[in-house]
Structure 1
Amino acid sequence: MIQFNHFNFNVLALDRSLEFYDKALGLTPAREKNASDGSFKLVYLTDGRTDFTLELTYLTDRTNPYNLGEMEYHLAFVTDEYDNFYKKHKEMDIICFENPSMGIYFIQDPDGYWIEIVPAK
């Protein structure tokens, strides 16, 4: 048997990212790991419902933003509160792309990662 465990985003400013994910999606830290030499910190965020986590990797000496390439990947969330999240994300001015014909939209985190919001069927 094999199953999904986590997905990783490298972040430039950990506190800013933690605030974003909490405010925008209600994700909270489930566990952390600090490098013994202080070179990095991993924070695993949970939705509180599933075992899947989003790993935020913070490299303590990193000062330049990450090059995300052409962004042909994204993380997706499904919600039964689509209209509420849409309104909140619109107010936060973090919606970066909408596809009304598919009934989805994307938000962008502080480091430029795209996150798809999908309504529950």
Structure 2
Amino acid sequence: MLKFAHFNFNVLNLEKSLSFYKEALGLTPVRTKDAEDGSFTLVYLGDQTTDFTLELTWLKDRTEAYNLGECEFHLAFETDDYEGFHKRHKEMGCIVFENEAMGIYFITDPDGYWIEIVPSK
């Protein structure tokens, strides 16, 4: 058997990212690992519904933004409160693209990663 475990985003400011993911998506830390030499911290965020986690990697000495290429990848979330999340994200100013014909939209996190919001079927 094989199943998804986690997905990783590298972040420049761990506290800012933790705050964003809590406010925007309700994700909270479920596990943390600090490097023995103090060079990095891993924080795994969960949705309190599934076992899947988003791993945020903070490299202590990293100061330059990550090159995300053309952002041709994204993480997607499904919600039964599409309108509520859309309103929240609009107020936060983090919506970067909407496809009304498909009924989806995308937000970005503090590091520029794209996150798709999809209504439950």
Q: Which range, TM-score by smaller chain?
A: over 0.9
Aligned counterpart, 2:102:
102
Query: Does 2:105 correspond to 1:117?
Result: no
Measured against aligned partners, the alpha-carbon deviations of 1:30-86 in whole angstroms (never above 9, x if no partner) come to 000000000000000000010000000000000001010011100000000000000
Q: State the partner residue of 1:42.
A: 42
What is residue 67 of structure 2 aligned with on the other side?
A: 67
Letter in structure 1 aligned against 2:48: G
The one-letter amino acid paired with 1:23 is E
Aligned twin of 2:17: 17
1:24 CA drift (Å)? 0.2
Distance 1:77 1:50 in 2: 11
SS in 2 for 1:24: helix
In the other structure, the counterpart of 1:76 is: 76
Task: Indicate the RMSD between aligned Cα atoms, in angstroms.
Answer: 0.3
CA distance in 2: counterparts of 1:38 and 1:68, whole angstroms: 25
Q: Which runs of 5+ in 1 are unaligned?
A: none
Cα deviation, residue 17, structure 1? 0.1
TM-score (norm 2): 1.00
1:86 partner SS = helix
Counterpart code for 2:16: R
Q: What code does the residue aligned with 2:101 have?
A: S
